[in-house]
């Protein structure tokens, strides 16, 4: 029989499930064909697919290799072989397979994109970016490839990020396809952020039938569910753990729906212990997880991811709870139709900007950010132990480098130029951003040795290290959030630039809370001026630093008891408004 008849026969038996009779049919057909038989490579490919379903990876790999030997340009075999190799601990071989495959445009694009994905996961940012650029030069209308390419450029401080070197992609096209997270560091225009996020949500999710009853439930205690992929050693968990512990159990019953990996961390154990009910949905489909939440009759479901990596937005699209809100994970518009509220405060989302957001902002009284009074913090680090000069003014910024823009870095270089002898202490994010920042310093006429890069350390040591600096220089338009409150907790003064968006007003909110208004600026020129004055005027600096006391922290950002009361009042307002 010919190949098409073989396929029809295997379909009748039950192809796609790794059944022994189907595997035997393909083996027998291949063995019976002389060299040069058309479609023999397709039979090897189908055999590989069946062997994969049969959990025989080694034989599946061999089948895909036979398919490629007969037809080196057969992209599906290269893609599947590479994925199997990656899955079984051979990422370098997978990358080699995808690199060496010879393909027409469509197939080449698929291989380049797969190669870029794995390279990025492996930390090879520059090569990943090169693969994506090659893919976009082949075909520019790939929003996902554009998004990842631009974010890689942000991570590497490869400026301008919106590089108009791809034919068919203008600056506006690039911004539109930049993706929700990258957009927060590209613009403080809320309407633009919302449009970018809406395009992403439309591509990545789809509407589903509502599961929750229209009228809601009438439970004795309000059932609050928290959904997250970050119940692990993640900044979100370090902020929110004590809120879970402090919820009033007379009024609220707390459920945790976890899509996180089990990293074995102490903070994960603590978060899990804080829930009345803990359910892992990591291995469940979106529909199965949504139906589970519906069966639990959750009154109010709070998404803690928003549009960040690992989020399970499709669960929310089933509307498994009568009221759904997003909080803390993504500090910008989250235009998912089934979300009812974005939890914030009246400073980070002022009334003049509230109408631009989706979902509707709902303000927590006071400050939006939860904090943990029990967090383990190392003793203040000594400068000598951090590789810092004892007699210099130390500016610092420990934010991830994708938040650093060319405009802000130019401002930092001007600050160093005017504040002679000062140094800038940065996290050592990756080798490419380190090299690019040093080159930019040289171009600005600044000795690159005045940039000091600190390796990453465990959370407790990182906190202690903050105390060794003199002034934290914030990023714009994507401010520090968790790191801003960490700095205030450790008595490190901060300087920020406030804009229009939630992301560009976070650090200002922290400074206003402790009465450090001198550190809030609204123009780059004022930002530079204040930083230089702090470095050169010891009395001015001493007066400012005196505001950053433990009492100031404990009476504002660190007052978790008061925050919990305000947060629970916000939950009750959401239910009343439903």
Q: What is the CATH number of the domain that holds 508?
A: 3.40.50.2000
Q: Is the peptide bond before 321 cis (omega within 30 degrees of 0)?
A: no
310 domain-assigned = yes
507 domain-assigned = yes
E-strand ranges in 428-543 read 451-454, 471-473, 494-497, 520-521
147 and 263: one domain?
A: no
Point out the domain boundary residue: 182, 213, 236: 182
User: pLDDT tens for residues 183-202?
Assistant: 999 999 999 999 999 999 99
399 and 347: one domain?
A: no
pLDDT for 106 equals: 85
429 and 338: one domain?
A: no
Q: Contact, 334 vs 359, CB < 8 A?
A: yes
What Å distances lie between residue 476 and 53, 409, 549, 558, CA to CA?
A: 49, 10, 25, 25
User: pLDDT tens for residues 266-279?
Assistant: 999 999 999 999 99
Average pLDDT, the chain: 96
User: pLDDT tens for residues 415-433?
Assistant: 999 999 999 999 999 999 9
Going by C-alpha positions, the residue among 465, 454, 488, 455 that lies closest to residue 378 is 465
Residue 302: band (very low, low, confident or very high) from pLDDT cuts 50, 70, 90:
very high
What backbone torsions phi and psi does residue 317 show, to the nearest 5 degrees? -70, -15
188 domain-assigned = no
- Locate 189 and state its tokens: 């225009």
235 and 175: one domain?
A: no
Segment 157-166 shows an average pLDDT of 96
Radius of gyration of the chain (CA): 27
User: pLDDT tens for residues 129-158?
Assistant: 999 999 999 999 999 999 999 999 999 999
SS3 label, residue 491: coil
Percentage of the residues of the chain whose pLDDT score is greater than 70: 100
- Locate 479 and state its tokens: 């401010």
321 domain-assigned = yes
pLDDT for 73 equals: 78
User: pLDDT tens for residues 335-370?
Assistant: 999 999 999 999 999 999 999 999 999 999 999 999
Segment 508-514 shows an average pLDDT of 97
Q: What is the count of structural domains for the chain?
A: 3
What is the DSSP code string of 287-352? HHHHHHHHHTT-SEEEES-TTSTT--HHHHHT--SSEEEE-SS--S----TT--EEEE-TTTS-HH
Conformation bin of residue 355: beta by default, left when phi > 0, alpha when psi is -120 to 50:
alpha
Q: Contact, 200 vs 179, CB < 8 A?
A: yes
Segment 482-509 shows an average pLDDT of 97
pLDDT at residue 109 above 80?
Answer: yes
Q: Contact, 574 vs 362, CB < 8 A?
A: yes
230 and 105: one domain?
A: no
Going by C-alpha positions, the residue among 343, 344, 372, 367 that lies closest to residue 274 is 372
pLDDT at residue 242 above 80?
Answer: yes
542 and 443: one domain?
A: yes
Residue 549: band (very low, low, confident or very high) from pLDDT cuts 50, 70, 90:
very high
pLDDT for 578 equals: 79
Conformation bin of residue 169: beta by default, left when phi > 0, alpha when psi is -120 to 50:
beta
499 and 549: one domain?
A: yes
Segment 252-276 shows an average pLDDT of 97
Going by C-alpha positions, the residue among 48, 18, 43, 47 that lies closest to residue 33 is 43
Going by C-alpha positions, the residue among 121, 116, 58 that lies closest to residue 84 is 58
Segment 62-78 shows an average pLDDT of 91
The residue range of the domain holding 135 is 3-182
CA distance 54 to 360: 49
pLDDT for 98 equals: 85
Residue 38: band (very low, low, confident or very high) from pLDDT cuts 50, 70, 90:
confident
CA distance 144 to 480: 26
242 and 340: one domain?
A: yes
Q: Contact, 386 vs 468, CB < 8 A?
A: yes
Sheet containing 341-344: give its strands across: 277-280, 252-258, 222-228, 300-303, 323-326, 341-344, 360-363
Residue owning tokens 């980070």: 348
Point out the domain boundary residue: 127, 157, 182: 182
193 domain-assigned = no
CA distance 509 to 484: 10
Conformation bin of residue 39: beta by default, left when phi > 0, alpha when psi is -120 to 50:
left
Q: Quick one: 535 exposed, middle or buried, by C-beta within 10 A (0-12, 13-18, 19+)?
A: buried
User: pLDDT tens for residues 368-406?
Assistant: 999 999 998 999 999 999 999 999 999 999 999 999 999
Sign of the alpha-carbon torsion through 444, 447, 450, 452: positive
CA distance 113 to 434: 26
17 and 153: one domain?
A: yes
347 and 398: one domain?
A: no
DSSP at 473: E
Please name the residues in contact with 575: beta carbons below 8 A apart, sequence gap of 6 or more. 216, 222, 299, 300, 323
pLDDT for 102 equals: 64
How many degrees, rounded to 5, is the angle at CA 493 between CA 505 and CA 371?
60
pLDDT at residue 446 above 80?
Answer: yes
Q: What is the CATH number of the domain that holds 295?
A: 3.40.50.11380
What backbone torsions phi and psi does residue 320 show, to the nearest 5 degrees? -75, -15
Residue owning tokens 């600005």: 444
pTM of structure? 0.85
Q: Contact, 342 vs 360, CB < 8 A?
A: yes
Of 100-109, 437-446, 461-470, 504-513, where does mean pLDDT reach its minimum?
A: 100-109
Q: What is the CATH number of the domain that holds 129?
A: 1.25.40.10
38 and 151: one domain?
A: yes
* H/E element, 280: strand 277-280
572 and 528: one domain?
A: no
Q: What percentage of the chain's residues is helix, strand, coil (to nearest 5)?
A: 50, 10, 40
201 domain-assigned = no
341 domain-assigned = yes
214 domain-assigned = no
């Amino acid at each position: 029989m010919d190949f098409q008849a073989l396929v029809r026969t295997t379909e009748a038996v039950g192809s796609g499930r790794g059944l022994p009779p189907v595997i035997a049919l393909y083996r027998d057909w291949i063995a019976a064909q002389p060299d040069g038989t058309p479609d023999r490579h397709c039979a090897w490919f189908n055999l590989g697919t069946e062997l994969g379903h049969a959990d025989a990876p080694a034989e599946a790999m061999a089948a895909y290799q036979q398919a490629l030997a007969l037809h080196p340009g057969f992209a599906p075999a290269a893609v599947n072989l590479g994925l199997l190799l990656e899955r079984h601990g051979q990422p370098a071989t997978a990358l080699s397979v995808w690199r060496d495959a010879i393909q027409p445009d469509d197939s080449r694009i698929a291989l380049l994109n797969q190669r870029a994905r794995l390279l990025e996961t492996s930390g090879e940012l520059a090569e990943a970016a090169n693969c994506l650029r090659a893919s976009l030069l082949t075909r520019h209308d790939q929003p996902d490839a554009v998004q990842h390419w631009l974010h890689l450029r942000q991570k590497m401080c490869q400026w301008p990020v919106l590089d108009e070197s791809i034919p068919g992609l203008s600056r506006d096209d690039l911004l539109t396809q930049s993706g929700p997270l990258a957009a927060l560091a590209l613009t403080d225009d809320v309407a633009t952020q919302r449009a970018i996020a809406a395009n992403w949500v439309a591509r990545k999710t789809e509407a589903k039938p509502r599961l929750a009853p229209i009228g809601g439930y009438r439970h004795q205690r309000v059932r609050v569910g928290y959904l997250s992929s970050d119940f692990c050693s993640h900044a979100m968990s370090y902020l929110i753990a004590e809120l879970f512990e402090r919820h009033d159990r007379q009024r609220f019953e707390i459920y945790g729906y976890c899509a996180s990996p089990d990293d074995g961390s102490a903070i994960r154990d603590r978060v899990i212990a804080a829930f009345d009910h803990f359910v892992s949905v990591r291995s469940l489909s979106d529909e199965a997880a949504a139906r589970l939440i519906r069966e639990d009759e959750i009154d109010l479901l709070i998404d803690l991811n928003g549009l960040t990596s690992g989020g399970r937005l499709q669960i929310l699209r089933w509307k498994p709870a009568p009221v759904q809100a997003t909080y803390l994970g993504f500090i910008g518009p989250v235009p998912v139709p089934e979300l009812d509220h974005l939890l914030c405060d009246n400073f980070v989302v002022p009334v003049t900007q509230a109408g631009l957001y989706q979902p509707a902002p709902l303000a927590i009284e006071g400050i939006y950010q939860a904090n943990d009074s029990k967090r383990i913090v190392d003793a203040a680090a000594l400068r000598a132990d951090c590789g810092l000069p004892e007699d210099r003014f130390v500016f610092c910024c420990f934010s991830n480098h994708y938040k650093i823009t060319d405009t802000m870095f130019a401002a930092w270089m001007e600050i160093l130029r005017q504040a002679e002898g000062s140094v800038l202490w940065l996290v050592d994010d990756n080798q490419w951003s380190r090299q690019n920042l040093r080159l930019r310093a040289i171009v600005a006429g600044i000795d690159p040795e005045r940039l000091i890069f600190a390796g990453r350390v465990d959370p407790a040591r990182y906190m202690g290290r903050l105390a060794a600096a003199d002034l934290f220089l914030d990023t714009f338009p994507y401010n520090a959030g968790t790191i801003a409150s960490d700095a205030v907790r450790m008595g490190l003064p901060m300087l920020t630039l406030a804009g229009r968006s939630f992301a560009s007003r976070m650090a200002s909110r922290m400074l206003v809370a402790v009465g450090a208004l001198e550190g809030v600026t609204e123009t780059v020129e004022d930002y530079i001026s204040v930083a230089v004055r702090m470095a050169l005027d010891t009395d001015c600096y001493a007066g400012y630093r005196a505001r950053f006391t433990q009492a100031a922290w404990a009476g504002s950002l660190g007052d978790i008891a008061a925050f919990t009361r305000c947060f629970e009042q916000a939950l009750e307002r959401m239910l009343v408004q439903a």
